[in-house]
Amino acid sequence: MKSAAERAKLPPADVPRDGPNLTGEELETKLSTTWSNPPGFVGWLSSVDHKDIGRRYVITALVFLALAGVLAIAMRLQLARPDNDLIGAARYNEIFTMHGTTMMFLFAVPVMQGMQIYLTPLMIGTRSNAFPRLNAFSYWMYLAGGLLLWIAFVLNVGPDIGWFAYPPLSGPQFGVGKRVDIWAQMITFTEVAALAAAVSQTATLHKHKAPGMSLARMPIFVWATLVTSLMVIFSMPSVALASGMLLSDRLVGTHFYNPAERGDALLWQHLFWFFGHPEVYIIFLPATGFVSEIVATFSRRSIVMYPIVVMSLVATGILAFGLWVHHMFATGLPRIGYSFYTAASMSVAIPTGLQIFCWIATLWEGRPQLKVPLLYVIGFIFTFVIGGLTGVMIAAVPLDLQLHDTYFIVAHFHYVLIGGAVFPLLGAITYWFPKATGRLMSETLGKIAFWMIFLGFQLAFFPMHIAGIYGMPRRVYTYPAGMGLELPNMLSTLGSLVVSAAVLLFVVNLVISARSGRRAAPNPWDAPSLEWATSCPPPPYNFPHIPLVSSRTPLWDAGEKLPVVYGLRVEDRELVLTTVMSAKPDVREPSPEPSPWPLIGTVATTAMFVCSIFSPWAVLVGVVPVALALTAWFWPKSPAPEREPVIS
Amino acid sequence: MRREGLLALLCLSGCSGAQTAFGGQGAEDANFIQLFTVFMIVCTVMYLLVSAALIVAVWRRRRTAMVVEDRNHRATSGFVRPALIGWTALIAIGLTALTLAGFFTDRSNARNGSHPQLKLTVTANQWWWDVEYDWADVSKSVRTANEIHLPVGIPVEVTLKSNDVIHSFWIPNLAGKQDLIPGRRTDAQLLPRKTGLYRGQCAEFCGTQHAQMALDVTVESKADFEKWYGAQLQAAPVPKTPLQLAGYRYITTRECASCHNISGTSAGGQIAPDLTHFAGRRSIAAGTLPMNTGNIYGWVADPQSQKPGNHMPTIGLKADDLHGIVAYLETLK
């Protein structure tokens, strides 16, 4: 085998490429050599394989889910009885802040991005992401942000101002100490991570689709990924701006949010919710993608009215940016302006209602198989619709003014986020588990866990609607006896214990099945999309030959053998790029080698971000190592093979 | 949804909580209950439709032949398209109706406060409420803390301010909530329709003791209100017994007076609750403890263990001083 430098000088026609003459075991050996991680621990740290990164993302996010779940149990135990003194006021405030922050920033968004990073290149039939090193950087930054927050919490400097951090409570005067700075800097980490992943996804989905996979043939989960990635790109700058100004108020002495110096406390709320509301859909839309894939596979048919489902996704993504003020109905903004946000909030029910129609119609027109992933989807519809309808209620100003900031809202958004996102996620993990591990999860344990989670969830969260109407505000560490709150709170606590036992069972199932589950064939569910065309788990290069797509459900329509295209280099990492709309082969492009520099860059950035909590000068000094790391990251080591036009 | 509807009906028939949105003792809360009922009905119908469709869709499996196994997995029945159009129309009509209902209820709520006959200013602090009854003639104005008294049937305008962080003013039995935001002035309109004792509470997270920031609300007849108001206009009574006198001396000359005000004495602090009619209130420290002698002892001796993190320090009073202070405070009715 020739060195990279020698290969680069070869005339294109002499470069070894996959094709009818180079296929089967010989091809797979060569591709494995080219696409595998370097050996050893350093090789593991250097990986830019989207499957490694996606898996790390999902596992890390599940660990954070478990941590935040433990905090939830602690809160439920404190609230089980009125005037309880298990947890004091200050500690409780830290706990609910950590619970919300971890769930939103370290679990929900990252777990969805992790699933997307793992799945989308497989689903669109390519070998890698558009920016694999950026992808790796994204994961390391996310991990660093999560560690920062949790190490701070363990050292008793965890934030205590709520996951929304409204100034002036989070400002320099009332949020003394470093708790708020740690929160705000953790936001910076997760923003960088989310933006990096979203940029990489957007480019991948635009340019790396397998030949023939036009936009109209993309799986719905891929559409959901595209929409959410664009939403991340449009919404994250808003919270970056907000938290940047908060840090600047706290560390440099600006007065963006200080009313005494003509700043405005409400400015934060506008910026935060302009991000915060889309964030809910950044979590929810990937889940609707899971649902669409699972419904189609287990109904044994294509999704009914694919264009309606896709347009609903896009419409939800756009509407999401027009309703942030419904978080601020009680702030005394002009009443007539509220009407617009009421109407916008209500109108989200239309695309959502259309999607639900299409899923039910698909089940109706198909032959549903009640396997565990489909059970989660059915549980999702029963649960999420309640959350959606309570969402319609609180869109109306007179109802919201009573229900806002009460346990009714806590119930509402847990119905939306657990019912609407976590149920589909658990279904999706069960569904794609064989793809990632090569083994199927236990159906029996899966069904027990499903019923416990579904029923335990209703027990835990339904009574919260009642508690809220009975006058229980959110974020209280205790409540007095005699207000009618004893029963709903006790039920919620019992329900939360059932849910946690069920989640534990789910994890046990994961572990047992990963070790000794039934071996999975490449397509154990007889599903239609491309990720099932390769082995379980997929090889480092994903597909020996890039598939050629001619319908929305390639594996159902291709017959015995999936058509493929030939001509990618096998001794260099090379990808085929296609046109955005119709996915015609466009150009062949080299793909980056593994590199430790994204990790080293993360370490440098982390040092800068963390030190800047203590002195603004750290930003000035800290950019030097960051610049050095980035320079090394992008340093051209050998004459890379040039982009080649497609020969066809 | 369905279960919630039943509970709502149950509650409407027999609920008398002091802090519940299902109370309906204020005009705005009565509107809330009405609108909530309308939304409940529409939402329940929609939920039943979705659930029924889902159950039937899963139940009727095996009757269809539009699946992969029959090589017909893209076909759909003819009725799906009209059903989709009908469903969309139903959602759109339902949402429009609900939006309009919400809009007109909001207009009605706005009218409640158009001709206020009583004006209050409520200023939120970490973690207590400063209450002032405003009159053009300052000698008729009254300042109290952590309680409001309202005459029944009279529209009230409450001006809302905050001295520190964002709080939210919420008396669910009377009306929805309004935030109190530093640097801004917001307002709430109350129109109490039934006499009774209610409870309000801060509804926006405002720091350590957010949970213990309640407000005692008394809605009473106009005559009772005027009697109470007249009493509030009086200065604090003169201490009578030697014990009360000792407490009076301590309060007016030592730590207490730097924060608390007691009208008619030299205690003139303005940053903590006004104590002029302290013992006439229903609770201590913004609803933290019911008002009684034991709790006054507990609070004065060690406020930090009663409400950790609050801004009143535990100063380590001697027993004699404590007896005197409590004896004097109990005369402040």
| pLDDT per position as a tens digit, A411-464 | 999 999 999 999 999 999 999 999 999 999 999 999 999 999 999 999 999 999
Average pLDDT over residues A193-205: 97
Residue of A nearest to B51 (CA): A382
Q: Measured between alpha carbons, how far is A229 from A233 in angstroms, rounded to an integer?
A: 6
- Token digits for A486? 């004893």
- Chain B contact set for A168 (CB, 8 A): 164-166, 182
Alpha carbon A229 to its chain's center = 10
Residue position matching structure tokens 């279904």: A427
Is residue B6 predicted with pLDDT exceeding 80? no
C-alpha B188/C-alpha B167 separation (Å) is 13
Could you read off the pLDDT of A312-337 as tens digits, one per residue? Answer: 999 999 999 999 999 999 999 988 88
Predicted confidence at residue B13, as pLDDT, reads 39
Contact A88, A96 (CB under 8 A): no
B51, B106, B184: which to substitute to probe chain A, counting the most A Cβ within 10 Å?
Answer: B106
Between residues A2 and A54, which one has the greater pLDDT?
A54
Residues from chain B that touch A305, judged by Cβ atoms under 8 A, are 76, 80, 84
| Residues of chain A contacting B174 with CB distance shorter than 8 Å | none
Residue-wise burial string across A447-457, b where 16 or more C-beta atoms lie within 10 A, e elsewhere = ebbbebbbebb
> What pLDDT is attached to residue B112?
80
8 A C-beta contact, residue B132 and residue B120: yes
- Contact between residue A26 and residue A109 where contact means Cβ atoms under 8 Å apart: no
Q: What are phi and psi of B260, to 5 degrees?
A: -100, 150
What SS3 state is found at B180?
Answer: strand
CA dist., res. B76 & res. A361, Å (int): 9
pLDDT for A94? 97
CA distance B308 to chain A (A): 7
Contact B80 A392 (CB under 8 A): no
- DSSP collapsed to 3 states, A11-68: CHHHCCECECCECHHHHHHHHHHHHCCCCHHHHHHHCCCHHHHHHHHHHHHHHHHHHH
Q: Tokens at residue A195, please?
A: 């933006």
3-state secondary structure of A305: coil
CA–CA distance, B151 with B160 (Å, rounded to integer): 19
Instruction: Identify any residues that bridge with A17 across adjacent strands, giving them in sequence order.
Output: A569
Instruction: Report CA-CA distances (Å) from A431 to A426, A440, A541, B254.
Output: 8, 9, 22, 71
Which amino acid is residue A183, in one-letter code? W
Residues of B in contact with A173 (CB under 8 A): 164
Residues paired with residue B128 on neighbouring β-strands, in sequence order: B125
Q: What is the pLDDT of residues B82-130, one digit of tens each?
A: 999 999 999 999 999 999 999 999 999 988 878 899 999 999 999 999 9
Q: Which residues pair with A312 in a beta bridge?
A: none
Instruction: Answer whether A267 touches B (CB < 8 Å).
Output: no
Q: CB neighbours (10 Å) of residue A410?
A: 20
Cβ-based contacts of B68 with chain A (< 8 Å): 300-301, 526, 528, 556
Nearest to B208 among A93, A300, A390 (CB): A93
For chain B, the distance separating the N- and C-terminal CA atoms, rounded to the nearest angstrom, is 48
Q: What is the DSSP letter of B237?
A: P
Q: How many angstroms separate the CA atoms of A155 and B74, rounded? A: 58
Task: Reduce the secondary structure of A533-600 to three states and give it as a string.
Answer: HCCCCCCCCCCCCEECCCCCCHHHHCCCCCCEECCCECCCCEEEEECCCCCCEEEEEECCCCCCHHHH
Q: Mean per-residue pLDDT for A153-168?
A: 96
Give the mean pLDDT of B200-212: 97
How high is the pLDDT of residue A9?
72
Strand positions, DSSP E, B49-146: 118-125, 128-133, 142-145
Indicate if the pLDDT at residue A396 is higher than 80. yes
Count interface pairs A-B at CB distance under 8 A: 280
Question: Which of A347, A354, A357 is opposite residue B95, by nearest beta carbon?
Answer: A347
| Residue A407 CB coordination number (10 Å) | 28
User: Which H or E element spans position A645?
Assistant: strand A644-645
pLDDT at A642 over 80: no
pLDDT value, residue B299 = 97
> With bands split at pLDDT 50, 70 and 90, how would you rate the model's confidence at B16?
low
SS3 of residue B159 by DSSP: strand
Q: Can you give the pLDDT at residue A414?
A: 97
Lowest-pLDDT choice from A171-180, B6-15, B293-302: B6-15
| Burial zone of B61 (CB within 10 Å; 0-12 exposed, 13-18 middle, 19+ buried) | middle
- Tokens in use for B308? 């950790």
Say which of A368, A404, A475 has its CB closest to residue B177.
Answer: A404
User: How far is the C-alpha of B2 from the C-alpha of A118, rounded, in Å?
Assistant: 40
Predicted local distance difference test score (pLDDT) of residue A393: 97
Distance of alpha carbon A570 from alpha carbon A397, whole angstroms: 61
Q: List chain B residues with CB under 8 Å of A484.
A: 15, 17, 20
Length of chain A: 648
Cβ–Cβ gap B32/A476 under 8 Å: no
Q: How many Å is the Cα radius of gyration of chain B?
A: 27
Q: Highest mean pLDDT: which of A5-9, A380-384, A644-648, B4-8?
A: A380-384
Per-residue confidence (pLDDT) for residue A11, from 0 to 100: 74
- Average pLDDT of the residues of chain A: 94
On the question of pLDDT at A646 being above 80, the answer is no
| Any B CB within 8 A of A556 CB | yes
| Average pLDDT for A37-50 | 95
For the cut 80, the answer to whether the pLDDT of residue A281 exceeds it is yes
Residue B62: band (very low, low, confident or very high) from pLDDT cuts 50, 70, 90: low
Give the whole-angstrom CA distance, residue B288 versus residue B112: 32
Nearest chain A Cα distance for residue B257, angstroms: 24
Locate the chain B residue with the closest alpha carbon to A552: B74
- Rounded to an integer, the average pLDDT of A616-625 is 93
Q: Which amino acid is at B32?
A: F
Asked if A118 has any chain B CB less than 8 Å from its own CB, the reply is no
Identify the weakest region by mean pLDDT among A4-13, A229-238, A287-296, B168-177: A4-13
Q: How confident is the model at residue B59 (pLDDT cuts 50, 70, 90)?
A: confident
Q: Is the pLDDT of residue A285 over 60?
A: yes
List, for residues A538-590, the tens digit of each pLDDT value. Answer: 999 999 999 999 999 999 998 778 999 999 999 999 999 999 999 999 999 99
Q: Which helix (H) or strand (E) holds A136?
A: helix A132-154
- DSSP alpha helices (H): ranges in A164-216? 179-207
| pLDDT higher than threshold 80 for residue B64 | no
CB contact (8 A) between residue A471 and residue B199: yes
- Nearest chain B Cα to A269, which residue? B166
| pLDDT of A355 | 97
Question: For residue B10, what pLDDT band results from cuts at 50, 70 and 90?
Answer: very low
The two beta strands, B214-220 and B147-151, are: parallel
How far from chain centre, in Å, is Cα B305? 25
Residue B279 pLDDT greater than 60, yes or no: yes
**Portion 495-554 of A in contact with B at CB < 8 A:** 526, 528, 553
Report chain A's terminal Cα–Cα distance, integer Å: 26
Residue B226 has pLDDT above 80, yes or no: yes
User: Which of A90, A160, A368 is facing B61, going by the closest CB pair?
Assistant: A368
Tokens of B271: 């940053």
pLDDT band for position B11 (cuts 50, 70, 90): very low
